[in-house]
Amino acid sequence: MALTVETITNTALDILSRYGLGDLSMRRLARELGVQPSALYWHVKDKQSLLVLISKSLRAEVDARCPATADPLAAAMSLREVLLKYRDGAEILLLGYSIAPADVTPQALAGQRLGAEVAQGIMTLTLGGVAVEQNRRLFDVDPSAAAENYTANAAQMLSGIRSCP
């Protein structure tokens, strides 16, 4: 298998799904890929860059489901679903969002479309809500109303948008 940014990102997502963010290191990633850690640095500058690449991959998954012209609530719900698919998904995207927000925000939720304040608000709501939900699951706390609460809050936040360009 050729070492590419795509194979690195996919392998990192696999590690995250199996073990979580705490066990994702450049050494472990290199071991999983069957290369020396130094080989990764030809493709990925550092772990922060890797987290942005992973976050971009999550964004691409949402964009494939909901293009830029999609209903913002549907896009927000898709983002939530994608984040829940991966262990520590919200924490990963939160790190990517902290570093490069424009690069990791799904197109249908971008500031150019929703306005900067609403876009930031819906991303913050989604990342925070899903992070709490994922952490509750780690401690066997029932997040049974999480989906309904998220949907109601996201709908309320997005209701202020008169029209989507």
**What secondary structure does DSSP assign to 83-117, as a single string?**
HHHSTTHHHHHHHHHHH-HHHHS-GGG-HHHH-HH
Give the pLDDT mean for 69-97. Answer: 96
Q: Which residue has the higher pLDDT, 146 or 162?
A: 146
Average pLDDT, the chain: 93
pLDDT of res. 164: 46
Q: In this predicted model, what pLDDT tens digit does every residue of 35-45 receive, in sequence order?
A: 999 999 999 99
**Confidence class for position 118, pLDDT limits 50, 70, 90:** very high
Taking the alpha carbons of 47, 25, 4, 42 in that order, is the dihedral positive or negative?
positive
Measure CA of the first residue to CA of the last residue in the chain; give whole Å: 43
Distances (CA, A) of 65 to 30, 32, 60, 111, 162: 31, 29, 9, 19, 23
What structural domains and CATH numbers belong to the chain?
5-158 (1.10.357.10)
Tell me: pLDDT of 7 over 80.
Answer: yes
pLDDT of res. 1: 64
Rounded Cα–Cα distance for residues 32 and 122 (Å): 35
pLDDT of res. 144: 84
Give the pLDDT mean for 7-15. Answer: 96
Tell me: pLDDT of 136 over 60.
Answer: yes
Q: In this predicted model, what pLDDT tens digit does every residue of 58-79 receive, in sequence order?
A: 999 999 999 999 999 999 999 9
pLDDT of res. 83: 97
Tell me: pLDDT of 138 over 80.
Answer: yes
